[in-house]
Amino acid sequence: MEPTKLQEALNAVDWNANVNEFLTNHSLTEAVAQYNRRLAIWSKQLENADKGNPALSFIREMQVAGHYAAILASLALYKPAAAATRNVLETALYYTYFRTHLSELTTLVRNEDYFIHKSDIIEYHKLHTPNFKEFQSCFGLIGRLNKWYSRISSIIHGQIPGQWIQHKSIAEIKHKDENLQAVVNAFKEAEELVHNLLLCTVGVELWDSFSTTAKRQLISGLPGKTKDTLKLNSA
């Protein structure tokens, strides 16, 4: 594509109109804001409770990825929003592992050939995180996480052609209600998976360092039996 053609195509998209249309759907915008709000609560509490841990960079990226997902969804850039949404979950997973594996975190930074898979982190928690199997069963976490990750990855990698894409050219980028709802639903599921993952791992360990207000917000809506199993108090 010639530079002038690209400029014309980008200028042809009414980006402001896309954002304004997104904002008029109050139920969706409030939902996205709510999911990002809980990610922000987790981020703040972990920043305080795990202060100085280099792995907190993953938590900061998790929160930013949530922002990107909201921005991209508002612009009707649904497939890029899928990548940002998966990043929310991946960075949370990385944090739960690397926060106690700092030498491996150094290797990750220095050696571009080093990589750890999602499944490796799950297996680590099964073997080494106290009560993880029992805790995750309260949410059906592993099954839900694997199913969601597989589905969103198939969209990102184009394994299901046409998913979350409705335009044939840049100039045609605009909202489609069905796709927008799918994007928000996927973000909701990702945020819930992150919430459950953190509750079952680092959240349990650092819970006593969280503020009372944050505790109440984070366990709001959890069944009493689940709170008892995870031993999460609100005081």
Question: Which of 215, 193, 205, 217 has the alpha carbon at shortest distance from 99?
Answer: 205
Give the Cα separation of 135 and 57 in Å (integer): 26
Does the structure show a pLDDT above 60 at 206?
A: yes
Predicted local distance difference test score (pLDDT) of residue 1? 57
Give the Cα separation of 123 and 230 in Å (integer): 20
Give the Cα separation of 83 and 80 in Å (integer): 5
Q: What is the mean pLDDT of residues 60-64?
A: 97
Domain presence at residue 142: yes
Lowest-confidence pick of 73-77, 143-147, 159-163, 184-188: 159-163
Please give the tally of structural domains in the chain.
1
Predicted local distance difference test score (pLDDT) of residue 107? 87
Read off the pLDDT band of 93 (50, 70, 90).
very high
Write out the residue range of the structural domain in which residue 25 sits: 3-230
Lowest-confidence pick of 1-15, 43-57, 182-196: 1-15
| Amino acid at site 113 | D
Domain presence at residue 235: no
Q: Is the dihedral of CA 35, 27, 24, 81 positive or negative?
A: positive
pTM comes to 0.95
Q: What is the DSSP letter of 112?
A: T
The full 3-state SS of 38-102, as one line of letters, equals HHHHHHHHHHHHCCCCCCHHHHHHHHHHHHHHHHHHHCCCHHHHHHHHHHHHHHHHHHHHHCCCH
Domain presence at residue 108: yes
| Amino acid at site 99 | R
Backbone angles phi, psi at 144, to 5 degrees: -65, -40
Give the Cα separation of 23 and 16 in Å (integer): 11
Burial of 71 (0-12, 13-18, 19+ CB in 10 A): middle
Question: Which of 220, 200, 170 has the alpha carbon at shortest distance from 34?
Answer: 220
| Amino acid at site 70 | A
Pair 43, 198: CB distance under 8 Å: no
